[in-house]
Amino acid sequence: MLHKKVEAICNRQVEREGYSSNLYLAMAAWAENNGLAGIASWLYVQADEERLHMLKFIKYINERGGKAIIPAFKKPAAEYKSVEDIFTQVLKHEEFITASINEIVQVTLEVKDYTTHSFLQWFVNEQIQEEASAHAILDKLRLVGKNNMYIFDRDILGLRAAEANANQP
Ligand SMILES: [Fe+2]
Ligand SMILES: [Fe+2]
């Protein structure tokens, strides 16, 4: 049986991953409405990934004899100042998620739940990737500058492909 403390904090993460998905969907919709099809697709893919992260937690909680709760989600912002504003917020949000995962790791150590500790290692590694890709995008954005958004929008999907290749074993 899942320790109540672990169950509660994993359910907190269900909400956080689900909110991440909705946040990236809101950003994707904004980008789509602003003629930035490449950035929109990058964010739509990211939103799908976050939904999968939420599902991983839901299934894990239930598998271990806990009860996964599907929460209400706070409404993400509909308006963004710029593409740089979006990716600055993405990085900030991913840093928040990393801290949140680390807190769960801490709880598993407190209650000596080594099974959940092991389950979390995938997320620990995933967060390294998530922060690195947000950093890489912000670096590129600063290089291209505000007036070359057409080029950046065309190239952003290539960044994800390059990342996927680099992660191949
Ligand atoms: Fe996530
Ligand atoms: Fe993420």
Tokens of 114: 């080594």
If you ran DSSP here, which 8-state letter would residue 34 be given? T
Centre of ligand 2 from the C-alpha of residue 16, in Å: 10
If you ran DSSP here, which 8-state letter would residue 120 be given? H
- Look at residue 159 in the predicted model and tell me its pLDDT: 79
- Look at residue 169 in the predicted model and tell me its pLDDT: 67
Residues of the chain below pLDDT 50? none
- Look at residue 145 in the predicted model and tell me its pLDDT: 82
Centre of ligand 2 from the C-alpha of residue 156, in Å: 17
**Distance of alpha carbon 7 from its chain centroid, rounded?**
21
Q: CA 68, CA 62: separation in Å to the nearest integer?
A: 6
Centre of ligand 1 from the C-alpha of residue 44, in Å: 13
Centre of ligand 2 from the C-alpha of residue 86, in Å: 14
Residue showing tokens 């995962």: 101
DSSP state string for 42-95: HHHHHHHHHHHHHHHHHHHHHHTT--------PPPPS--S-HHHHHHHHHHHHH
Q: CA 17, CA 55: separation in Å to the nearest integer?
A: 9
pTM given for the model: 0.93
For 55-69, the pLDDT digits (tens) are 999 999 999 999 999
Centre of ligand 1 from the C-alpha of residue 50, in Å: 5
Q: CA 17, CA 72: separation in Å to the nearest integer?
A: 12
For 2-17, the pLDDT digits (tens) are 999 999 999 999 999 9
Q: CA 125, CA 29: separation in Å to the nearest integer?
A: 28
Cβ pair 20, 13 in contact under 8 A = no
For residue 92, the ligand closest to its alpha carbon is 2
Residue showing tokens 């509660």: 8
Centre of ligand 1 from the C-alpha of residue 147, in Å: 31
